[in-house]
Amino acid sequence: MEIIINVTSFNNDRKVTIEDEFRRLVVTKPSTNLNLNTLEQIVITEECGQEILSFQQRYGIEVTGHTSNEFVTAVGKTLTWEEDGKQKQTVILDWRIAPALITEEGRQFASHLIHHELCHVHDNYHRSVIFGKPIPWLKKGDLFSYLHCHADIVWTEYIASVVRPTLLYI
Ligand SMILES: [Zn+2]
Residue 138 has pLDDT above 60, yes or no: yes
C-alpha–C-alpha distance, residues 42 and 59, integer Å: 16
Q: What is the pLDDT of residue 166?
A: 65
Give the distance (Å) from ligand 1 centre to CA of residue 13: 30
Give the distance (Å) from ligand 1 centre to CA of residue 165: 14
The number of domains in the chain is 1
Residue 169 has pLDDT above 60, yes or no: no
DSSP-assigned beta bridge partners for residue 44: 5, 93
Residue 159 has pLDDT above 60, yes or no: yes
C-alpha–C-alpha distance, residues 8 and 145, integer Å: 40
Give the distance (Å) from ligand 1 centre to CA of residue 74: 9
Mean pLDDT of 94-117: 88
Q: How confident is the model at residue 72 (pLDDT cuts 50, 70, 90)?
A: low
Give the distance (Å) from ligand 1 centre to CA of residue 94: 14
Residues 6+ positions from 132 with CB-CB distance below 8 Å: none
Residue 98 has pLDDT above 80, yes or no: yes
Question: Residue 88 region, left (φ>0) first, then alpha (ψ -120 to 50), else beta?
Answer: beta
Give the distance (Å) from ligand 1 centre to CA of residue 65: 13
Residue 135 has pLDDT above 70, yes or no: no
Give the distance (Å) from ligand 1 centre to CA of residue 156: 7
Give the distance (Å) from ligand 1 centre to CA of residue 36: 16
Give the distance (Å) from ligand 1 centre to CA of residue 117: 6
pLDDT in tens, 20-71: 999 988 887 777 889 999 999 999 999 888 888 888 888 887 766 666 666 5
Residue 88 has pLDDT above 60, yes or no: yes
Which domain does 85 fall in, by range? 2-168
Give the distance (Å) from ligand 1 centre to CA of residue 144: 23
C-alpha–C-alpha distance, residues 34 and 44, integer Å: 21
Query: For residue 30, is the peptide bond before it cis, meaning its omega torsion is within 30 degrees of 0?
Result: yes
Give the distance (Å) from ligand 1 centre to CA of residue 118: 9
